[in-house]
């Protein structure tokens, strides 16, 4: 499948989630979106800090929990959806900080903007765009976060290079994502539905880490990880999908 066709499949799937036409997680499905969110690392206190409609049950981690966000920082969320991580980050960086959410799905961006306006979040900015070509100026961001999104991109190296570009020297990357232990079956790799389910696009763990290093990041490390199980997983995929949270640094002396 061509990259653009693949992106249209993903946009359609997540557009339906944004509009409330379907409930889908990526793919830690449980009885409710709250259960799904708690299962991947959010706390009940986290969920009370954000608009209820921003909690969609998507994601495979909680990057804000490990990003060590500080007052006044500028944060960029890659694939921000309806904004759960944007709003959590906004609480942590305060009124002197700023959070930018970028998502390629127009319905998600519209929902994030609506919720920000309704709930008085004045330090957030939702932008529609492709994370392989970010609508963000170079060297303007302190922290890049993302939650189960890079695996959806056809060109992961381009996505990480863009993250590196927009970071200030000394800036940091904290990504929650799915990777694999070994190769996935070819029929999974070729399935558009499996791409939208955050499975087919997942890289093998060491390849994923090396891709981040190739983009320019240093001190790349897995800070947490575990096997990723979910109801209905195919027997051939059990134990092959891993949920990881990865940290990297743009060296302080790097050029903008």
Q: Is the pLDDT of residue 227 over 60?
A: yes
3-class secondary structure, 116: helix
Measured between its terminal Cα atoms, the distance across the chain in Å is 35
Work out the average pLDDT over 23-39: 67
The CATH architecture of the domain made up of 3-249 is 3-Layer(aba) Sandwich (3.40)
pLDDT value at residue 69: 98
Round to whole Å and give the CA distance between 86 and 84: 5
Backbone φ, ψ for residue 118 (5° rounding):
-65, -35
At 231-256, the pLDDT tens digits run: 555 656 667 888 999 999 999 989 88
What order of strands is seen across the sheet that includes strand 141-147?
124-128, 98-103, 74-78, 141-147, 167-180, 241-249, 218-227
Element (H, E) at 115: helix 106-118
pLDDT value at residue 79: 96
pLDDT averaged over the chain?
87
Among residues 4, 1, 22, which one has the least CA distance to residue 13?
Answer: 22
Q: Partners of 243 in the beta sheet? A: 178, 226
Work out the average pLDDT over 187-206: 69
- What radius of gyration, in Å, describes the C-alpha atoms of the chain? 17
Write out the two tokens for 21.
């036409």
Please state the domain extents for the chain.
3-249
Sign of CA dihedral 189, 192, 195, 201: positive
Write out the two tokens for 43.
């706390």
Q: Is the pLDDT of residue 128 over 70?
A: yes
Highest mean pLDDT among 13-17, 25-29, 48-52, 183-187: 48-52
pLDDT value at residue 27: 46
Sign of CA dihedral 24, 60, 177, 225: negative
Spatial contact of 162 and 138, defined as CB atoms under 8 Å apart: no
Write out the two tokens for 101.
């959410």
Element (H, E) at 242: strand 241-249
At 163-176, the pLDDT tens digits run: 999 999 999 999 99
Write out the two tokens for 62.
């909680």
At 84-114, the pLDDT tens digits run: 999 999 999 999 999 999 999 999 999 999 9
pLDDT value at residue 3: 64
């Amino acid at each position: 499948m061509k990259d653009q066709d693949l992106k249209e499949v993903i946009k359609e799937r997540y557009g339906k989630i944004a509009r409330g036409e379907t409930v889908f997680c990526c793919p830690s499905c449980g009885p409710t979106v709250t259960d799904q969110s708690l299962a991947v690392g959010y706390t009940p206190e986290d969920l009370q800090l954000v608009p209820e409609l921003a909690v969609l049950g998507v994601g495979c981690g909680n990057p804000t929990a490990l990003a060590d966000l500080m007052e006044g920082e500028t944060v960029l969320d890659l694939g921000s959806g309806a904004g759960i991580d944007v709003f959590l980050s906004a609480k942590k960086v305060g009124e002197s900080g700023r959070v930018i959410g970028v998502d390629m799905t127009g319905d998600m961006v519209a929902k994030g903007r609506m919720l920000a306006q309704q709930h008085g979040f004045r330090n957030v900015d939702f932008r529609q765009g492709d994370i392989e070509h970010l609508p963000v100026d170079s060297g303007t961001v302190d922290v890049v976060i993302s939650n189960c999104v890079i695996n959806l991109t056809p060109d992961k190296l381009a996505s990480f290079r863009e993250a590196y570009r927009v970071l200030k020297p000394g800036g940091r990357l904290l990504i929650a994502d799915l990777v694999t232990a070994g190769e996935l079956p070819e029929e999974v790799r070729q399935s558009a539905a499996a791409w939208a389910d955050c499975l087919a696009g997942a890289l093998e763990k060491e390849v994923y880490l090396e891709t981040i290093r190739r983009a320019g990041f240093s001190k790349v490390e897995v800070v947490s990880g575990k096997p990723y199980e979910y109801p209905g997983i195919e027997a051939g995929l059990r134990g092959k999908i891993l949920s990881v949270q990865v940290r990297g640094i743009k060296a302080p002396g790097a050029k903008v």
